[in-house]
A = this chain, B = another copy of it.
Amino acid sequence: MAVAGLAPTSRGTNEAADAGTPRRGARDRRRDRRAAAKLSGPAYVTRAIPPYEILDEERLLRIEAAADRILAEVGIEFRGDDEALRLFRQAGAGGEGITCTFEPGMLREILRTAPAEFTQHARNPARSVKIGGPHMAFAPAYGSPFVMDLDRGRRYGTLEDFENFVKLAYMAPWLHHSGGTVCEPTDIPVNKRHLDMVFSHLKYSDKAFLGSITAPERAEDNIEMARIVFGAERVERDCVIMGNVNVNSPLVWDGTMTGAIRAYAAANQGSVIVPFILGGAMGPVTTAGAIAQALAETMVGCALTQLVRPGAPVIFGNFLSSMALRSGSPTFGTPEPAVGSLVVGQLARRLNLPLRCAGSFTTSKLPDAQAMQESAMSMLSAVQSGANFLLHSAGFLDGLLSMSYEKFVLDVDQCGALHSYLAGVAVDDNALALDAFAEVGPGNHFFGCAHTMANYETCFWDSELADNDPFETWEDAGGKDAATRANARWKAMLADYQAPPLDVAVEAELTDFIARRKAAMEDAWY
């Protein structure tokens, strides 16, 4: 693709942020946009730099051929979902019993109906996110049983924590999406959590969100809640909820997951199809093999959506991992998955599907140097791979076992920096500044020159968490480290939180629905 067409001041923000105030000057608009971004940020980010292409055609073809051989010779098992089996058999899959094999090309043909780009609509239309092509949406981390902060340490997550992270993501200017299971609300029965979680996303935020995938009927409940908010007709037409679904690697699709996929696809809602292959356990320890396996497994999951409903939105997901040699523990934010993610990006583009890949990964147990070193390597690989939906962008700590309040705001700041990174290097008359050189000349300074005055407010990313002061100023202010500043930051954000408006009748209908569904079930803790 062409690159860096945006002025540096645009920071890759989307058209929505550019709308309005048509009669005012560009500079006023820039300033307004900057102020608005501080409050709420852009609805999504559009990259002005190309993805990082690291493998040549020959090697990409070899990985695709390996995936094709896995699919044709070993095949995929479908456990506990006769309907999924039936759909694939009807589409021409071979194999016997619960195993399907696929001739090369078959799945790619099925995937031709999947959209290369789609919009997930938010209940606030200004917050709808484009997913695919050059567009990217950053979402919080997903699925940790624990939460952490510097005051109270590690503990099981509760619904209060869940609501807090939804509120923080709503306020975070550089997150575009509310995510899904931002932490497990372990104080709520497992079979009822999905109701409270989606209610939190709808009440405490107006950004797009994910629904349950832990059982097909829970997915149905969440889709029904979406119908209450958006109307049944709208849900039939537009994507307003998605499920993030995991393969049971290696090479098994479990009925719980394929059931959730079928529920979302049948309702014309989105699915994110993600294998989680821990090298040496659920797949080979070599990156190319893990990628080939993931490609095979993910194509099958994506194809299922199209068999259920051609044209249903689906995201090609990936989650590469590595392990520590000495302990066998999983590792995150390490170099092999980072560079491997770039290859996954190339493969997803060849499938013409939106990509979910990587995130702010780390195994560190604190929001410390290790945490942000690993997260930066991982998150840069996500944006450089061309990922379109970046789950785990904020809060990930402790190998995904803990959601950290401090890490959350540190990661959000990093996401902001990536908005400037993705805007690339503008090359136009203003950026080249030839008039400034003529004005200033050799040996003089640019402090007050016209070009500096016109550009200094918008030329550089302005972090709210990084300390750039001189040492003495920093020391006089208490000599705080980044984690300590982050601790103050999330508390201030929660103290400032104000809920977005939600129609009273809609809220009543939601709470009534939830009450009825809860009353219809015994509590279950599995």
Which positions in A face B, CB cutoff 8 Å?
A: 2-4, 8, 49-50, 52-56, 59, 62-63, 66, 69-70, 73-77, 79, 99, 154, 248, 250-252, 279-289, 291-293, 322-327, 329-331, 334-336, 338-340, 342-343, 363-377, 380, 384, 398-399, 401-402, 410, 414, 417-418, 420-421, 424-428, 430-434, 436-438, 440-447, 451-452, 455-457, 459-463, 465-471, 474-475, 479, 481-483, 486
| A4-B59, A369-B371 known; A286 vs B471 contact (CB < 8 Å) | no
Distance between A412 CB and nearest chain B CB, rounded to angstroms: 12
Asked if B364 and A462 make an inter-chain contact with CB atoms under 8 angstroms apart, the answer reads no
Asked if B437 and A74 make an inter-chain contact with CB atoms under 8 angstroms apart, the answer reads yes
Q: In this complex, which of A70, A251, A285 has the most chain B Cβ atoms within 10 angstroms of its Cβ? A: A285
Which 9 A-B residue pairings sit nearest by Cβ, starting from the closest? A289-B433, A376-B376, A372-B373, A251-B442, A284-B433, A335-B421, A288-B431, A370-B482, A369-B482
Given A59-B427, A331-B466, 11 more A-B residue pairs with CB atoms under 8 Å apart are A52-B384, A55-B427, A250-B446, A285-B455, A286-B431, A339-B424, A365-B471, A366-B481, A366-B482, A371-B482, A373-B375
CA distance A441 to B154 in the complex (A): 38
Asked if B250 and A440 make an inter-chain contact with CB atoms under 8 angstroms apart, the answer reads yes
What are 24 A-to-B residue pairs whose CB atoms are below 8 Å?
A: A62-B427, A250-B437, A279-B460, A281-B445, A282-B446, A284-B437, A284-B451, A286-B426, A286-B451, A286-B455, A288-B426, A293-B437, A331-B468, A334-B417, A334-B420, A335-B420, A339-B425, A363-B467, A364-B467, A369-B372, A369-B483, A372-B376, A377-B380, A398-B471
Partner of A54, one of B4, B334, B366: B4
CA distance A325 to B426 in the complex (A): 19
CA distance A373 to B384 in the complex (A): 16
| A55-B3, A431-B289, A470-B329 known; A452 vs B284 contact (CB < 8 Å) | yes
Asked if B63 and A427 make an inter-chain contact with CB atoms under 8 angstroms apart, the answer reads yes
Asked if B456 and A287 make an inter-chain contact with CB atoms under 8 angstroms apart, the answer reads no
CA distance A260 to B451 in the complex (A): 34
